[in-house]
Structure 1
Amino acid sequence: MSKDKVSHIQEQWKAERPDIDSSPVGVVGRVHRLGNYLRREILAVYREHGLGEGEFDILATLRRSGAPFTMLPTDLGRQTMVTSGGISKQLDRLEASGLVERTVSSDDARKRLVTLTAKGKSVIDAAYTEHMENEARLLADLDPADRESLEGILGRWLAAVESANEPPGE
């Protein structure tokens, strides 16, 4: 394995605390460091389109939901990584920018619907295209077989963590 900063950290802990198995940092430390780096690279693309992370997530969720690109705010909250408190703030900004509109549901006047506007669809389509090009660039150093293996491993690990942390009743 090539030497990286985590390898150095593991060697130091092995010397200072040989009584503790520090091997978990080999995975968790690397995932954490990679996550920080990847997030920085991904957010740069979002900013080029005038979007923050939560805004991109909301627009992408509406877009991938299919026509008519409309959802309830509570459903957006469940399907995005935006906190419930953050959804309203993000929707206010997206609405002010003309990327979404909020309307009263014809089925229930108590419900507000969020719909992607034509401008919002254009923005998210351009941002998503560049986002996927960026992610492909970030993965370019991985052998295709390693990438496939890593996707499977991370998928199983994430499913287990999400299952263990899922609130009761969901």
Structure 2
Amino acid sequence: MDTLDRILGEWERERPDLDVSALAVIGRLSRYADLVQARLDAVFAEHGLQSWEFDVLSALRRAGSPYELTPGELDRALLITSGTTTHRVQRLESRGFVTRRRDEDDRRVVRVRLTDAGRAAHEVAHEAHAENETRILSGLSEGEREELLSGLTALGRVLGDTVETERA
């Protein structure tokens, strides 16, 4: 029995007329997302990063050489608003992890580029992050991991999570 089982039992007792069976899945997704995030954040903190900093550095690193994106491309890569992107880029720039420069062909366009210091910070943190993710899932058998992935992928499909949705 876990926390959600207890909560479901309480709802069954208090509101037997209400179907709360979806809470068994949705509640666990929410609770486990928080538990996983806490474990991810702990490793990022060991490397002097917050999760959002790691996310921005990762988006730039994934872009490939020269490891730069426009703020709009960062918005889409991180699924955040332009105001949030501006704030995050400013914070990372103050740490020396990114620079901003005007595009040579179109001076109206700004490009955010990963610096050598940002890339070095990301590389070390990324290795630890990958090990941490593996550790988080290590208690699951290969079959359980495949079932979990299949179920989560199906849920994403039902929720409309596609590359086209991401672009919109």
TM-score normalised by L of structure 2: 0.92
Aligned to 2:6: 8
CA distance in 2, matches of 1:158, 1:69: 29
Map Cα deviations across residues 25-63 of structure 1 (whole Å, 9 max, x no partner): 110111111011111111111122222222111100110
1:151 pairs with one of 130, 149, 152? 149
1:73-88 matched pairs, under 5 angstroms:
73-88=71-86
8 Å CA contact 1:69–1:116 kept in 2: the answer is yes
Residue identity (%): 36
Query: How far does residue 84 in structure 1 lie from its aligned partner after superposition?
Result: 2.2
Secondary structure, counterpart of 2:139 in structure 1? coil
After superposing on structure 2, the runs of 4+ consecutive aligned residues of structure 1 that deviate more than 4 Å are: none
2:107 pairs with one of 106, 109, 119? 109
Aligned to 1:20: 18
Aligned residues: 166
Unmatched segments (≥5 aa) in structure 2: none
CA root-mean-square deviation: 1.7
CA distance in 2, matches of 1:29, 1:9: 10
Letter in 1 for 2:135: R
TM-score normalised by L of structure 1: 0.91
Aligned to 2:37: 39
Query: How far does residue 148 in structure 1 lie from its aligned partner after superposition?
Result: 1.2
Task: Identify the range of structure 1 (30-39 vs 153-162) with the bigger mean alpha-carbon deviation.
Answer: 153-162
Query: How far does residue 163 in structure 1 lie from its aligned partner after superposition?
Result: 4.3
Quick one: structure 1 residues 55 and 82, their matched pair in 2 at CA, closer, same or farther if it must change by over 3 Å? farther
Query: How far does residue 158 in structure 1 lie from its aligned partner after superposition?
Result: 2.0
Unmatched segments (≥5 aa) in structure 1: none
